């Protein structure tokens, strides 16, 4: 049986925690910080875990994760 291929874009953007949740960086921090509130910028630091419906989609692209 051949190996399953991991989507390269997914492996760069997502990682799995030890309990199987999908960890991703916060959205909306690439550009346009002038129009964002300081509260938004502060809350969007670091990483977050994806919701269960989104995580199910991402896990298809990370078969060995």
- DSSP states of 4-65 as a string? PPPPHHHHHHEEE-TTS-EEEEPSS-SS-GGGS-HHHHHHT-SEEEPPHHHHHHHHHH-TT-
Q: How many domains does the chain have?
A: 1
Phi first, then psi: give them for residue 25, nearest 5 degrees. -80, 155
Domain-embedded: residue 40: yes
Domain-embedded: residue 2: no
CATH number assigned to the domain comprising residue 37: 4.10.410.60
Domain-embedded: residue 46: yes
Give the pLDDT band (50/70/90) at residue 64.
confident
Place of tokens 């994760």: 65
Domain-embedded: residue 3: no
pLDDT digits (tens, 9 = 90+) for 10-43: 999 999 999 999 999 999 999 999 999 999 999 9
Q: Which residues pair with 25 in a beta bridge?
A: 47
Whole-structure pTM value: 0.83
- Structural domain including 23 reads 8-61
């Amino acid at each position: 049986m051949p190996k399953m291929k991991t989507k390269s874009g997914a492996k760069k953007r997502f990682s799995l925690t030890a309990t199987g949740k999908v960890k991703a960086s916060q959205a909306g921090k690439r550009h346009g910080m002038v129009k964002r509130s300081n509260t938004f910028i502060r809350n969007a630091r670091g990483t977050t875990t994806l919701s269960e419906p989104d995580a199910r989609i991402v896990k298809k692209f990370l078969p060995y994760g």
